[in-house]
Amino acid sequence: MFPHWRDAIWMIAKGMRNNLALFHLDQTVADVYLELLAAKSHWFDEIETPRLLHGDLWPKNVLIDRSNARPQIVGLLDAERGFWGDPMAEWVFLFYEIPDLFWKEYGRSTITPGATFRKLAYRGMYTIQSLLEATRFGWEEPPITHKLIEITREMLNY
């Protein structure tokens, strides 16, 4: 357990950076990313009450009953990546277009400079995670480093 959300994020991001070293991958951009996380960690303090997150909430893990006029979520699968934290840290919210109906029921986060920075920070973490998974599983490496550079440049604005 961590006293602050920033501490949890730092531990996760630092661990991913260390994994880059284990796989002998370039850590240069990840180091800049971590410097920005440390310098701007106050933005994570906006999260005072953590929420239970699924961790892998993408369409194939959501069971929907469509037998009635109004579809209803009746179950969730694969919640082993669940954790407590900032709702914006749910990776699917960063990479998928989420319908307004979902946000109406779930509750949309208020857009602040801190929320925008955190969204970029989470995208950076999941970009590093994608590189690690591509390496672990021997997938063709997507242009992930370039994406992390773009995210890091955007983070400089906050």
State the burial class of residue 90 (Cβ atoms within 10 Å of its Cβ: 0-12, 13-18, 19+): buried
> Residue 123: its pLDDT value, please?
92
- Asked whether residue 27 is assigned to any structural domain, the reply reads yes
Q: Is the pLDDT of residue 104 over 80?
A: no
State the burial class of residue 83 (Cβ atoms within 10 Å of its Cβ: 0-12, 13-18, 19+): middle
DSSP H helices, 45-140, are: 91-95, 100-106, 113-136
> Residue 58: its pLDDT value, please?
80
Six token digits for residue 158: 């906050």
State the burial class of residue 51 (Cβ atoms within 10 Å of its Cβ: 0-12, 13-18, 19+): middle
State which residues form the domain around 12.
Answer: 5-51+94-155
CA 9 → CA 13, 116, 119, 121, 155, distances in Å?
6, 15, 12, 9, 15
- Asked whether residue 56 is assigned to any structural domain, the reply reads no
Q: Which of 35-49, 79-93, 136-150 has the lowest mean pLDDT?
A: 136-150
- Give the residue carrying structure tokens 């400089």: 156
- Asked whether residue 151 is assigned to any structural domain, the reply reads yes
- Asked whether residue 68 is assigned to any structural domain, the reply reads no
pTM given for the model: 0.81
> Residue 11: its pLDDT value, please?
95
- Asked whether residue 14 is assigned to any structural domain, the reply reads yes
Number of domains in the chain: 1
Phi and psi for 72 in degrees, rounded to 5? -135, 135
pLDDT mean over 54-73: 90
- Asked whether residue 71 is assigned to any structural domain, the reply reads no
pLDDT mean over 92-116: 77
> Residue 128: its pLDDT value, please?
92
DSSP annotation of 42:
G
> Residue 141: its pLDDT value, please?
64
> Residue 91: its pLDDT value, please?
82
Q: Which residue has the higher pLDDT, 104 or 9?
A: 9
- Asked whether residue 47 is assigned to any structural domain, the reply reads yes
- Asked whether residue 64 is assigned to any structural domain, the reply reads no
